[in-house]
A and B are shown apart, each in its own frame.
Chain A
Amino acid sequence: EVLVVESGGTLVQPGGSLRLSCAVSGFTVTNNFMSWVRQAPGKGLEWVSMIYSGGNTYYQDSVKGRFTMSRDNSKNTVYLQMNSLRAEDTAIYYCVRHFYDRSGHGNRAFDIWGQGTMVTLSS
């Protein structure tokens, strides 16, 4: 079964740091593009970051320089290191897989979503 399970979300003070984890099963992070997407309470969806199968990473401007996405191939896990956290980073963080069809073509869409992990900024 293909699964994505996020963890690490908690209550943290502004200026603090946090590392989110995304453990996957049923596929390998090495061979897939992965992203983090967040959703502030009662709000819409916002793409945060992505990591290519080759290891390149890309970020939303609002988190560039503060967030770092990485992966551990041996653990089949993706991470999001979040530093210098701000109130506006409060959100559910979803780990998502990029959709590749059976012919191997990328479709620039997200086909597998985890249940999300909640990050709350409060002093």
Chain B
Amino acid sequence: DIVMTQTPLSSPVTVGQPASISCRSSQSLVHSDGNTYLSWLHQRPGQPPRLLIYKISNRFSGVPDRFNGSGAGTDFTLKINRVEAEDVGFYYCMQGTQLPWTFGQGTKVEIK
């Protein structure tokens, strides 16, 4: 199985400041079709997760442009340009390149 490792596990941030989350996979996420199936999800307390980013850097419909994904191969990053209060919660990376699809352990973003 592909292991997804996120850092940091906790990120206290000030509203208006940037935040960055790293996600590393135990093997390359480049699929034989040439795509890299790395997505990011956000889960607020008591809510189901919601899709933010797919295929490394594509923002899902309705996702604010302060969320940006980047990376390649085995190293990926989610950046929030200016954190807002509603951005608190857990962020998960997920790989869909190889079964079983696997998630990172989650990064908790909280406001200082």
Contact, CB under 8 Å: B51 / A111: yes
Residue of A nearest to B98 (CB): A108
A45 within 8 A of partner (CB): yes
Query: Is B7's CB within 8 Å of the partner chain A?
Result: no
A-B contact pairs, 28 of them (CB 8 A): A35-B101, A44-B90, A44-B104, A44-B105, A44-B106, A45-B49, A45-B92, A45-B94, A45-B106, A46-B103, A47-B102, A47-B103, A50-B101, A58-B100, A60-B100, A61-B100, A107-B37, A107-B39, A107-B58, A108-B37, A108-B54, A108-B97, A109-B39, A109-B96, A110-B39, A110-B49, A110-B51, A113-B50
Residues of B within 8 A of A (CB): 37, 39, 41, 48-51, 54-55, 58, 60, 90, 92, 94, 96-97, 99-106
| Interchain nearest-CB distance for A91 vs B (Å) | 13
Asked whether A107 lies within 8 Å of B49 as measured between CB atoms, the reply is no
A94 sits at the interface (CB 8 A): yes
Q: Hey, which chain A residues are within 8 Å of B100, CB to CB?
A: 47, 58, 60-61
Interface SS of B by simple majority: loop
* Chain A residues close to B by CB (< 8 Å): 35, 44-47, 50, 58, 60-61, 94, 99, 107-111, 113-116
The 4 closest A-B pairs by CB, nearest first: A108-B96, A108-B37, A109-B39, A113-B48
Q: Give the docked Cα–Cα distance between A116 and B58 (Å).
A: 26
* A47, closest chain B residue (CB): B101
CA of A46 to CA of B102, assembled, Å: 7
Cβ 8 A contact of A116, one of B41, B48, B55: B48
**Beyond A44-B92, A45-B92, A47-B102: 17 further Cβ-contacts under 8 Å?**
A44-B103, A45-B103, A60-B100, A99-B54, A107-B54, A108-B37, A108-B101, A109-B37, A109-B39, A109-B55, A109-B94, A110-B39, A110-B51, A111-B51, A113-B48, A113-B49, A115-B48
